[in-house]
């Protein structure tokens, strides 16, 4: 999903995002020139800035003005995301991110890890300046992201991975930051407590939608669409919801199970993707995404205004883009 989809119907967010980019550039300019080069590598490569846009859109949809604190909160959640990308690429031994050479590929794992640590530290510094509640929120979010990632790693190459473990993993590694992004925007904008909780719930459900759809795209998408090699989850032994649903299919699950459980070559990866695409696993995963999309819509039902209505409709629009 690109920024245009999120910006539609939320007046002012496009201008807000330009302010975020300027503040992000300041945060990514440490005194050391080499660290500045590495820290800016992925930020300059692009990315959708979905998390800061969610923070901005939550403030706007709540009817609040976007102040310097809202901008800083949006930058802080983007810094958490950026830091996690450097660490993810090391764990995945990734060569590409956003269509460019990954930091670990260009400069090595040690540099990539330390740069990720630097970005998380900068996020924490900005959060601390926004007050104890925001600081605690980002700290707990980073912890939940780590827990979700460890849960995923513990299930690597496990063909008996359960759906409940999968859902708990993505709730931590992805939905936690989406939820925190919306909550940060609502808190820094000074929204009423019930509105803060509504946007927090919306972000959590939207994050679940996003990750399930992203996992579907890893099966049905192309390298160009993903900005990285398609089918990488299968290569890494990360068996996501469309794969788990296919494994549970008595008609074709056995054929897929025979391929999985260990490292794959490219022919085996392509065969596994074909089996999943030809079964009902993709559609069933998208049905699960639709359930979370409905929860996201319900979360904002009590928030008045066109902007909130537009925002609440986005999760189901994302699901529809992936349906065949």
Q: What is the CATH number of the domain that holds 244?
A: 1.10.600.10
Identify the pLDDT of residue 289.
98
Q: How wide is the angle at C-alpha 173 spanned by C-alphas 80 and 308, nearest 5°?
A: 75
Q: Give the count of domains, the chain.
A: 1
Q: What integer best gives the mean pLDDT of the chain?
A: 93
- How many CB atoms within 10 Å of residue 193? 9
Q: How far apart are CA 78 and CA 241, in angstroms?
A: 26
Q: What is the pLDDT of residues 236-254, one digit of tens each?
A: 999 999 999 999 999 999 9
Query: What is the separation, in whole angstroms, between the first and last Cα of the chain?
Result: 17
- Res. 172: pLDDT tops 80: yes
Q: What is the value of pTM for the model shown?
A: 0.93
- Res. 48: pLDDT tops 90: no
Q: In what helix (H) or strand (E) does residue 96 lie, and over which residues does it extend?
A: strand 96-97
Place of tokens 């740069």: 115
Q: How far apart are CA 4 and CA 25, in angstroms?
A: 21
- 3-class SS at 97? strand
Confidence band, pLDDT 50/70/90 cuts, at residue 8: low
Q: What is the pLDDT of residues 255-313, one digit of tens each?
A: 999 999 999 999 999 999 999 999 999 999 999 999 999 999 999 999 999 889 989 99
Q: Containing domain of residue 175, as a range?
A: 3-322
- Res. 7: pLDDT tops 70: no
Identify the pLDDT of residue 1.
65
Burial 217-242 (b: 16+ CB within 10 A, else e): bbbeeeeeebebbbbbbbbbbbbbbb
Question: Any alpha helices (H) in the chain, and if so which ranges?
Answer: 3-7, 13-27, 33-39, 41-45, 50-61, 68-92, 103-107, 109-129, 132-154, 163-170, 176-188, 193-220, 223-226, 232-236, 241-247, 253-259, 266-278, 281-299, 306-322
């Amino acid at each position: 999903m690109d920024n245009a989809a999120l910006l539609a119907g939320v007046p002012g967010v496009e201008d807000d995002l330009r302010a975020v980019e300027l503040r992000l550039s300041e945060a990514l300019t440490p005194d050391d020139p080499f660290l500045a080069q590495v820290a800016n590598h992925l930020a300059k490569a692009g990315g959708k800035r979905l998390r800061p846009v969610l923070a901005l859109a939550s403030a706007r949809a709540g009817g609040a003005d976007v102040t310097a604190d809202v901008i800083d909160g949006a930058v802080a959640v983007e810094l958490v995301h950026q830091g996690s990308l450097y660490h993810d690429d090391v764990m995945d031994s990734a060569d590409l991110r956003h269509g460019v050479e990954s930091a670990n590929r260009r400069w090595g794992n040690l540099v990539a890890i330390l740069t990720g640590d630097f970005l998380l530290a900068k996020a924490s510094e900005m959060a601390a300046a926004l007050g104890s509640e925001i600081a605690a929120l980002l700290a707990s979010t980073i912890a939940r992201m780590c827990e979700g990632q460890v849960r995923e790693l513990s299930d690597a190459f496990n063909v008996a991975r359960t759906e409940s473990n999968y859902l708990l993993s993505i709730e931590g590694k992805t939905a936690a930051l989406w939820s925190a992004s919306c909550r940060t925007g609502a808190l820094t904008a000074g929204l009423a407590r019930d509105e803060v909780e509504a946007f927090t719930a919306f972000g959590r459900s939207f994050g679940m939608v996003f990750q399930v759809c992203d996992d579907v795209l890893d099966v049905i998408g192309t390298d160009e669409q993903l900005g990285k090699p398609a089918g990488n989850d299968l290569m890494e032994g990360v068996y996501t919801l469309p794969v788990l649903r296919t494994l549970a299919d008595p008609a074709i699950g056995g054929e897929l199970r025979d391929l999985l459980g260990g490292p794959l070559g490219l022919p085996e990866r392509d065969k596994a993707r074909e089996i999943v695409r030809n079964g009902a696993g993709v559609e069933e995963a998208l049905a699960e995404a639709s359930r979370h999309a409905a929860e996201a819509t319900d979360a904002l039902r009590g928030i008045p205004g066109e902007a909130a209505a537009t925002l609440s409709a986005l999760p189901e629009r994302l699901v529809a883009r992936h349906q065949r």
